[in-house]
Amino acid sequence: MSARYLQIASELRLAVDRGEYPIGSLLPSEGELAARYGVARGTVRQAVALLEREGVVTHRQGARRTVVGAVPTQSFAEMQSFSMWAVSQGHVPSARVLHKEVRRVTGADVERLNAPLGEEVLDLRRVRLLDGVAVMVERTLYAGILAEHVLAMELTEGSITERLTESGFVYAHADHRIDAVSAGVVEAELLGVRRGSALLRQRRVTTSPSGVALEWSDDRYRADAVTITVRNSMSENTLARLSARGPGRARQVARPGPVGSSVGVF
């Protein structure tokens, strides 16, 4: 039995999906919803706040909430795990292992993945396939505590994240850095694209509820394979844009001319 406000949020979400509250229409007032569901206004507010963060409704003080859309939302787990995501989308995921090694974090890892120097990790590199087609190359560093669990797994199918979750590890929070890179020779070969072609790179640090980092990963997708979507709002912004020329007053020498050079071996 989940919390009442979650039930109410679900009911409202479904009602929006069913077209009972078309896009552009107004939601009933908080008081009216409270009466309808037989709860206090505070509970209704928890429910609509959730819908607001999901991007389903907007807020304007003094006016009723407006329905802005029925947005497909993916769970944190589906965003975290390629396998779980693929399955939820109706695709068949698989993997091919390229490299598997327990070692210590090097300077290159620090720069690329923000991992802490010297820590013992499991370095796993795989090609990920969607319905048999290679769409992504990933490198994941698993924290030492996870290493033995991961090493004991079948790594070519199923979700590592899901099995770690079953073992009691909880993923709670993730930081993503998204940019574009050119395919190096190795990546081009693995993904079946031309060298130098565009890849979407998603680097991620995932932490447990207590803030301990569990994974550092670097995923590179074929440009035609996936799109990442994000919603933000005035009351809710987890998005930021970082300048590669350095934030702050940095006045580096501009580096014009061609870029697009390969990033080398993955």
Partner DNA sequence: CAGTGGTCTAGACCACCTT
Partner DNA sequence: AGGTGGTCTAGACCACTGA
Q: Which of residues 185-244 bind DNA (CB under 7 A)?
A: 210
Give the shortest CB-46-to-DNA separation in angstroms.
Answer: 6
Residues in the interface with DNA (CB under 7 A) total 25
Q: Choose among DNA, its own copies, none what residue 163 binds, the Cβ cut-off being 5 to 8 Å by kind.
A: none
Q: Choose among its own copies, DNA, none what residue 58 binds, the Cβ cut-off being 5 to 8 Å by kind.
A: its own copies
Q: Choose among DNA, its own copies, none what residue 117 binds, the Cβ cut-off being 5 to 8 Å by kind.
A: none
The binding track of 115-154 with respect to its own copies, each residue x by CB under 8 A or -, is ---------------xxxx---------------------
CA atoms within 13 A on the CB side of 34: 11
Residue with token string 């070519």: 156
What residue type is assigned to position 180 of the chain?
Answer: A
Complex with its own copies: residue 2 or 227, whichever CB lies closer: 227
What residue type is assigned to position 248 of the chain?
Answer: G
Return the SS3 of 128. strand
Q: Which residue in 222, 256, 213, 237 sits closest to 115, CA to CA?
A: 213
Return the SS3 of 60. strand
Distance CA 121, CA 91 (A): 30
> Phi then psi for 112, rounded to 5 degrees?
-80, -40
Q: With binding defined as CB under 7 A, does residue 30 bind DNA?
A: yes
Binding stretches for DNA (CB under 7 A): 3-6, 27, 29-32, 38-43, 45-46, 59-65, 210
